[in-house]
Structure 1
Amino acid sequence: MWLELHDSNGLIFVNMDTVTHFQRVEGQRRTTLVTCATKSGACVTLQVQESPKEIMAMISEF
């Protein structure tokens, strides 16, 4: 499932099927997402502007 989120550069599309976990950045509204590619095993950390609560609401809409 792809979600339309926002990072510091603007719009970003995140494949939530590859996200292993996400959490709020302490003291800020941003959320850290960790995505891992299954074939290569490489992981990428992203910070988005949406809160975990907003992300969960987007996931629930599907």
Structure 2
Amino acid sequence: MNKKYKTLSGFGTTDAKISYTFKQGLSLDVGVSNIFDKNYYLTDGYAEEGRVYFANVKYSF
């Protein structure tokens, strides 16, 4: 199966993340990926997601 791929223009994304450590071993991360919410393409016809919000809690022992 031989597929032909189209060359696409470049793209960039802007992300931000804030981390806070409550005490030794316990931390919280909150952030936004792709702040400016423009869909971008890695391959023609396969759009990647737009803006994504996230929060993570991590405990290390």
TM-score by length of 1: 0.29
| Higher RCO structure, 1 or 2 (CA under 8 Å, sep 6+) | 2
**Which structure has the bigger radius of gyration?**
2
